[in-house]
Amino acid sequence: MTESHDGILEDLKQGVIEFDEDKVRAAAQRALDEGVDPYDAIMNGLASGMTRVGELFSANEYFVPEVLMCADALYAGLDILRPHVKKRDDDGFKGEVVIGTVEGDIHDIGKNLVKLMFEIAGFTIHDLGRDVALEKFVEESIRTDSDIVCLSAMMTTTMINMPKIIELLRSKNPRVKVMVGGAPVSDDLARRWGADGYAPDASNALQEAINMINTLKELKPVA
Ligand code: B12
């Protein structure tokens, strides 16, 4: 890695931490000008800054207003970099996914990174946004005939909605696969709730989704 590559990633990270939108925009533009992979810049620059912000929030050094400004800075960089992320152009089976943050929860940064990974891979995404009513996941999965429903939650108080949604999906749309994620969620919880998949981060979420789609493909009757 070149010095400028590392410097740009560091500026993106620091720009998010310092909630300095101008610094983030300038570093994002430099990343594009100097040929830094936009995906690398997003995950190892912007998202890495947000991880540090999480630590500062937990240590009571940052409070909600600071964190909101950090999120704005992250999104300012994402707006510049996202259009340049290369789509994978293998022409395998592409899945259709419903995604959203569960009812009561307005955290959407992690969910949006998972969505980005799916977009890069060429999936069709139906993004319900954040604070999504439980029934909405079921309705949207049926309306769009999607393969997978992805549920995100960032709080222990909201992740308890996940098993309720899984139960609803099992009764109303048993064919669809369910993947859960978010900081308080674990593989163990996902299994206990009867989810079909779990991933700790956006890259693993994509791999997990590809595995699920392949399983669905194997289950489909040959025409
Ligand atoms: C940013 C943030 C906010 C922002 C949200 C802005 C936004 N647009 O998202 C704001 C300021 C609005 C906010 C508000 C609140 N927050 Co807050 N927030 C955070 C913070 C600092 C960072 C979260 C984040 O964006 N991380 C970066 C992203 C990239 O990581 P991620 O979300 O984990 O996502 C990755 C994985 O989890 C995974 N993933 C995520 N979703 C999914 C889905 C699937 C299907 C899969 C497979 C994977 C996956 O992939 C992602 C990318 O790799 C965390 C602290 C922390 N340490 O996490 C607290 C935190 C989540 N917040 C917390 C709290 C308590 C609140 C408030 C109640 C605070 C308050 N007093 O008002 C409110 C809640 C409002 C509500 N009703 O939701 C607590 C939750 C505690 C708990 N155990 O429940 C935390 C943990 C802070 C703390 N230590 O106390 N918050």
Q: Is residue 139 part of a domain?
A: yes
Q: Is residue 89 part of a domain?
A: no
Asked if 51 and 126 sit in the same domain, the reply is no
Q: Is the CB of 160 under 6 A from ligand 1?
A: no
Q: Which residues pair with 107 in a beta bridge?
A: none
Asked if 68 and 108 sit in the same domain, the reply is no
Asked if 106 and 188 sit in the same domain, the reply is yes
Q: Is the CB of 205 under 6 A from ligand 1?
A: yes
Asked if 102 and 79 sit in the same domain, the reply is no
Domain of residue 68: give its range: 3-84
Asked if 182 and 101 sit in the same domain, the reply is yes
Q: Is the CB of 101 under 6 A from ligand 1?
A: no
pTM of the full structure? 0.91
Give tens-digit pLDDT for 6-38: 999 999 999 999 999 999 999 999 999 999 999
Give tens-digit pLDDT for 186-210: 999 999 999 999 999 988 998 888 8
User: Would you say 205 and 123 are in contact if contact means Cβ atoms under 8 Å apart?
Assistant: no
Q: How would you list the strands of the sheet with 148-152, edge to edge?
A: 124-127, 96-101, 148-152, 177-181, 197-198
Q: Is the CB of 163 under 6 A from ligand 1?
A: no
Position in ligand 1 atom list of the atom nearest CA 106: 78
Q: Is the CB of 184 under 6 A from ligand 1?
A: yes
Show which of 29, 57, 84 is a domain's final residue: 84
Asked if 36 and 139 sit in the same domain, the reply is no
Q: Is residue 8 part of a domain?
A: yes
Asked if 77 and 100 sit in the same domain, the reply is no
CATH number for the domain harbouring residue 129:
3.40.50.280
Distance 192 CA to ligand 1 centre (A): 22
Count of structural domains within the chain: 2
User: How far apart (Å, rounded) are the C-alpha atoms in residues 15 and 10?
Assistant: 8
Q: Is the CB of 75 under 6 A from ligand 1?
A: no
User: Is 106's pLDDT higher than 70?
Assistant: yes
CATH number for the domain harbouring residue 65:
1.10.1240.10
Asked if 100 and 207 sit in the same domain, the reply is yes
Q: Is the CB of 168 under 6 A from ligand 1?
A: no
Position in ligand 1 atom list of the atom nearest CA 64: 11
The neighbour count for residue 10, using CB atoms within 10 Å, is 15
Q: What is the largest CA-CA distance in the chain?
A: 60
Position in ligand 1 atom list of the atom nearest CA 182: 37
Q: Is residue 90 part of a domain?
A: no
- Nearest protein Cα to ligand 1, atom 7: 107
Q: What value does the mean pLDDT of the chain take?
A: 92
Mutate to test the pocket of ligand 1, among 39, 74, 102, 107 (most ligand atoms within 8 A of CB): 107
Asked if 78 and 164 sit in the same domain, the reply is no
- Nearest protein Cα to ligand 1, atom 28: 110
User: Is 169's pLDDT higher than 90?
Assistant: yes
DSSP 136-187: HHHHHHHHHT-SEEEEE--SHHHHTHHHHHHHHHHHH-TTSEEEEESTT--H
Asked if 184 and 114 sit in the same domain, the reply is yes
Q: Is residue 137 part of a domain?
A: yes
User: Is 223's pLDDT higher than 60?
Assistant: no
Residue-level pLDDT at 90: 60
User: How far apart (Å, rounded) are the C-alpha atoms in residues 191 and 149?
Assistant: 16
User: CA angle, corner 201, sides to 197 and 207, nearest 5?
Assistant: 55
Asked if 110 and 187 sit in the same domain, the reply is yes
Show which of 53, 84, 115 is a domain's final residue: 84
| Mean of pLDDT values over 136-154 | 97
Give tens-digit pLDDT for 63-99: 999 999 999 999 999 999 999 988 766 656 678 999 9
Asked if 138 and 167 sit in the same domain, the reply is yes
State which amino acid sits at residue 29: Q
